[in-house]
Structure 1
Amino acid sequence: MDGVQIVDHPLVQHKLTLMRDKTRSTKGFRQLMNEVGMLLCYELTRDLELEEIEIETPLTKTRANVIAGKKLVFAPILRAGVGFLDGMLNLVPSARIAHIGIYRDHVTLDAVEYFLKCPEDIADRIVIVIDPMLATGNTAVAAIDRLKERGATKLRYVCLLAAPEGIERLRGAHPDVPIWTASIDDHLDEAGYIWPGLGDAGDRMFGTR
């Protein structure tokens, strides 16, 4: 699909299969979420711009590459999005954090916002929106709407699983926001769950129902 990158690295696919297993413990699911978050972050940052700086090694002065521009912003959609956050911060510990509190109403499937806190200079940074599941796409669209209202112009969206319906909705509303995902699953059911999916990522990560 245009604007969608499937991360097919063997380690990502292996860990995703482990997470789909309904017998996976809360601890195991949470640990895998952390590990996959780091791997996905590695893939979606591979095209960041570099600039040369002068440094001094123990032997001599030289010029070497560092990431150009201001630090990234990770924007997890609460609550399940925080499952990726520690793994991504292990890879990019200097990143800023924007928290987005949006949940999906289980009856209407509409997005309901309850919290938003962003770095003041978010307009000058690449913002990576994090949510394990791209199902209906309503929550993703609402989150990106809010971030753009705050000035964000360079956004990327990363998820573990995506439904075709969610991709269509997000790409239709925000065609400038590329998507990274480990899998495009078959479809959504009437309750808005991804099939075959892995259930509710937030409930499985936090041990709730």
Structure 2
Amino acid sequence: MPFQQELTHHYGPQVHIIDSPFLNGLLARLCSPESFQPEINRIVEVLYTHLISITVNNEFTIEKFEEPTRMTALHPGKKLQGTRIAASQKAVSVNLARAGTYPSHICYNFLHYSLPAPSVRQDHIFAARVTNSKEAVTGAEFGGMKIGGDVQDAHVIFPDPMGATGNTMVTAIDHYKTHIPGPAKKFIALNLIVTPEYLKNLLKAHPDVVIYALRLDRGLSPQAVLEATPGQFWDQERGLNDKQYIVPGGGGFGEIMNNSFV
């Protein structure tokens, strides 16, 4: 049977849910109650390294190249030919603290392998959930930010492990679109896990955003909906409990990644 690289769904062409047995197993291990630091961050590094690699290959401009190798001196005229990521691009990785801090650092470092240093930047936004008296999430609040310049023609990447309600991502992209000189070439969300609610809220607010994720969680949906193709009964799908935590999920990633349970 041929390997299916992406999950089949009805959420639209902007959504890419990677279907990789290796990454699926590793993400399941990360979500296990038996997983602790420092294993947690080691797994996160592997997962995000694969996710940013897939994203760059799919979303960035590709160019042809021809270069000499160490053997060219012995065989004049014989050079290596192939394709690579075009260096004439810009990228910004946005740290949505705190769960996004380490994933953004991983993506920021990775981008330097393809693009020249002056074309790669990391921004920082300190975000927190806003909840009501019933502990339901009502929005996102920014406590501060460090944004290092414009995003003109840049790929703006938001590595945030848990795509739960979408409030933080919506607010962050809103800020870049309305307050930071651009326009950006693309806004890209990089999530380990997403819910149907997250996809609906984010795409409604920003239909131009591109979403890459490793897993779709909709564990509180009716059984008949779970047996259907994801997105076929989008309005009936549910992946969030009453406190807006993902089910089956993996708990609070901001907490487990920082060993700080507040």
- TM surpasses 0.5: yes
User: Which of 203, 207, 214 lines up with 1:175 in the alignment?
Assistant: 207
The one-letter code matched in structure 2 to 1:182 is L
Question: Matches of 1:128 and 1:177 in 2, distance apart?
Answer: 10
Structure 1: any 5+ residue segments left out of the alignment? none
Question: Matches of 2:249 and 2:183 in 1, distance apart?
Answer: 31
The answer for the alignment partner of 1:197 in structure 2 is: 249
- Considering only CA atoms, is the larger Rg found in Structure 1 or Structure 2? 2
Question: Matches of 2:168 and 2:183 in 1, distance apart?
Answer: 17
SS state at 1:46 partner? helix
Q: Show CA shifts across 1:11-60 (max 9, x none).
A: 21111010110111121111111111101101111122123456443315
1:82 aligns with 2:101: yes
Does 1 or 2 have the higher relative contact order (CA < 8 Å, sep 6+)? Answer: 1
The answer for the alignment partner of 1:161 in structure 2 is: 193
> What's the TM-score once normalised by structure 1's chain length?
0.91
SS state at 1:160 partner? strand
1:188 aligns with 2:240: yes
4+ runs deviating over 6 angstroms:
none
* 8 Å CA contact retained: 1:77, 1:129: yes
With 96-105 and 155-164 compared, the bigger mean Cα shift is at: 96-105
Q: How many residues align?
A: 209
With 86-95 and 114-123 compared, the bigger mean Cα shift is at: 86-95
* 8 Å CA contact retained: 1:35, 1:87: no
1:72 aligns with 2:124: no
The answer for the alignment partner of 2:129 in structure 1 is: 104
1:115 aligns with 2:154: no
Judging by fraction of residues, say which structure has more strand: 1
SS state at 1:44 partner? helix
1:40 aligns with 2:51: yes
SS state at 1:16 partner? helix
Q: Show CA shifts across 1:188-208 (max 9, x none).
A: 011110111000001001111
* 8 Å CA contact retained: 1:96, 1:119: yes
Structure 2: any 5+ residue segments left out of the alignment? 1-10, 219-238
User: Which of 16, 37, 61 lines up with 2:27 in the alignment?
Assistant: 16
CA RMSD of aligned residues (A): 1.9
The answer for the alignment partner of 2:3 in structure 1 is: none
The answer for the alignment partner of 2:62 in structure 1 is: 50
The one-letter code matched in structure 2 to 1:143 is A
The answer for the alignment partner of 1:25 in structure 2 is: 36
With 76-85 and 37-46 compared, the bigger mean Cα shift is at: 76-85
Identical-pair percentage: 29
With 79-88 and 41-50 compared, the bigger mean Cα shift is at: 79-88
SS state at 1:136 partner? coil
The one-letter code matched in structure 1 to 2:245 is Y
Question: Matches of 2:51 and 2:57 in 1, distance apart?
Answer: 10
SS state at 1:139 partner? helix
* 8 Å CA contact retained: 2:161, 2:192: yes
1:92 aligns with 2:106: no
* 8 Å CA contact retained: 1:163, 1:184: yes
* 8 Å CA contact retained: 2:57, 2:85: no
